[in-house]
Structure 1
């Protein structure tokens, strides 16, 4: 079903999320609420932590931290689980204490923050870079008349999830090219089905990312523009936690993000380790992964770029409110205000 970009549908989803939290949070408070109380070490001497990863990409550093023993060295026993397809929907699990950390992207997090959910960014994982080779972007068939984002007016674009960073950057680039983003139609599809959708003509274009984007180009699809690199510094992957968990478990949280930071550094220096994880956890052909160049990972969150994202998402009616920085970042998160 084709879904137009509408504020009404977004408000409905956020309202449902808030209602769900209002029901579930009191229930967990009657039992052991690991989202708000201090969590001690188990019999093995390690503090248990559960993190929800994305289903598509940028989760490699979590497995590297596990494989290289960084979590164990920090005194943590980390369980890595696949989260929701739309990572913005991981917030209820974080607030209820079902998991302590979760992955999402910039817009996915902002949807929860704009709804007043008590969550905070703890670290970045990857951000767009100027001058580098795009790791995401718009893909069309070679014969497509679409040559710019402005050409998407009246067209259908496939996305892995609606209302998130990918929809935002698509609308941002349509406007930047002089088009009207409200005239673009979006449809949500499984990440693994995006390239097939545009190849078969189910959609006019798709916005793909990571290894799936590279696979689409290798299969003969044509890229338009430079994807998120058109807005350098926009977070493509980040980790967040509940405010209550952070206030009661700051030491554990700091150990966790420091271990992830070590893994990011290791991943950048050892691309074969990243490829090995992609072979295990994605559905892409091993020979393709072997020939690909992994993206550069970075823990830093650029608050100036995030403010641009907030302002524009609010303008595009993807956010009903523009949350202040004090409602976004943990006080120990690696942030920068650089342009």
Structure 2
């Protein structure tokens, strides 16, 4: 059996240069700053995936490292990436395919910490392709030639849905993807605007409660324990303040581990930044939050994206994107 490759984020690699070069003055020690705690703004999306960073702020994992964390919500990575590059955000959260696309366009972004990962369990993942109650579509292969809703065209949804169809013996080339925001997908599915929809939590649980059926676990079909998203920054900040980047990475890693070990607290913190009802919070399937980035899964995702034309004529260089 081939051993799954993973990549551990090295905080020392990010912060060691500054700590060695600048001596031992108090302002250069991790968790301190000459003028007190450093305000750090992070662009996030109001979804389940980012619960660990909210928990980490509550638990003091950032303040103990001299970071006054300011979390600002945005609609998606398309708004967060330019925000990081302009300096509006020091760090951002995005799905990994969006970051791969940015890298192929020579955008100077770099992953600094894991974000979220698939559970790796078919039928028990926080992502799935669903059909409405009574649909004649009962398998992933039967999605061939159908209208399927995704939140963004030519991104991680397209790639992973196509792979589910391929693995089930179908031909994904004729799928017509329709761009619809996740919150609007259950209604679009119900009224027949689309034949199927790729949903993530909490909309996945909402749709299932209304009778929708999961016909594909697209993340699980793509790669075991697929890394879905990551926290990132720009090359400029890494060059100017690697010690801050190192402290932020440490705090995120502690937050990820804490969230994985405290699912009840994850469900509780969701109420602080989402409108998910208590009933849905109790039922939804959570992602996993490993500290390690599953590089092998990202190599697979990059290859599939290249095959499907997600990246144009390029292929992502993960050595430049990942730590």
Shorter-chain TM range is 0.7 to 0.9
Query: Using a 3 Å threshold, how does the CA distance of structure 1 residues 149 and 292 change in structure 2: closer, same or farther?
Result: closer
* Matched ranges for 1:74-153 at <5 A: 74-85=65-76, 87-131=77-121, 133-153=124-144
2:229 corresponds in structure 1 to: 237
Counterparts of 1:287 and 1:114 in 2: how far apart (Å)? Answer: 42
- Tell whether 2:169 aligns with 1:197: no
Residue among 324, 328, 333 paired with 2:321: 328
2:311 corresponds in structure 1 to: 319
Counterparts of 2:34 and 2:144 in 1: how far apart (Å)? Answer: 56
TM-score normalized with structure 2 length: 0.84
| 1:94 to partner: Cα distance | 1.1
Between 1 and 2, higher relative CO (CA 8 Å, sep ≥ 6) is seen in 2
| 1:239 to partner: Cα distance | 0.8
| 1:166 to partner: Cα distance | 1.6
- Partner deviation per Cα, 1:61-97 (whole Å, 9 max, x = no partner): 1111111111100100111111233x24422111111
Residue among 174, 189, 203 paired with 1:212: 203
| 1:46 to partner: Cα distance | 0.8
| 1:170 to partner: Cα distance | 0.7
- Checking the alignment, whether the CA contact within 8 Å between 2:146 and 2:195 is kept in structure 1 is yes
Counterparts of 1:57 and 1:289 in 2: how far apart (Å)? Answer: 10
1:58 corresponds in structure 2 to: 49
- Checking the alignment, whether the CA contact within 8 Å between 1:54 and 1:82 is kept in structure 2 is yes
Counterparts of 1:142 and 1:247 in 2: how far apart (Å)? Answer: 53
- Checking the alignment, whether the CA contact within 8 Å between 2:61 and 2:251 is kept in structure 1 is yes
- Partner deviation per Cα, 1:16-48 (whole Å, 9 max, x = no partner): xxxxxxxxxxxxxxxxxxxxxxxx9485x1112
- Tell whether 2:286 aligns with 1:294: yes
Counterparts of 2:299 and 2:248 in 1: how far apart (Å)? Answer: 26
| 1:277 to partner: Cα distance | 2.2
- Checking the alignment, whether the CA contact within 8 Å between 1:88 and 1:111 is kept in structure 2 is no
* Matched ranges for 1:226-305 at <5 A: 226-230=217-221, 231-305=223-297
Query: Which 4+ stretches in 1 moved above 4 angstroms?
Result: 40-43
Counterparts of 2:34 and 2:68 in 1: how far apart (Å)? Answer: 9
- Checking the alignment, whether the CA contact within 8 Å between 1:88 and 1:109 is kept in structure 2 is no
- Checking the alignment, whether the CA contact within 8 Å between 2:101 and 2:316 is kept in structure 1 is no
Query: Using a 3 Å threshold, how does the CA distance of structure 1 residues 176 and 280 change in structure 2: closer, same or farther?
Result: same
- Checking the alignment, whether the CA contact within 8 Å between 1:137 and 1:207 is kept in structure 2 is yes
2:28 corresponds in structure 1 to: none
TM-score normalized with structure 1 length: 0.80
The total of aligned residue pairs comes to 289
Counterparts of 1:60 and 1:171 in 2: how far apart (Å)? Answer: 29
CA root-mean-square deviation: 1.9
| 1:293 to partner: Cα distance | 4.8
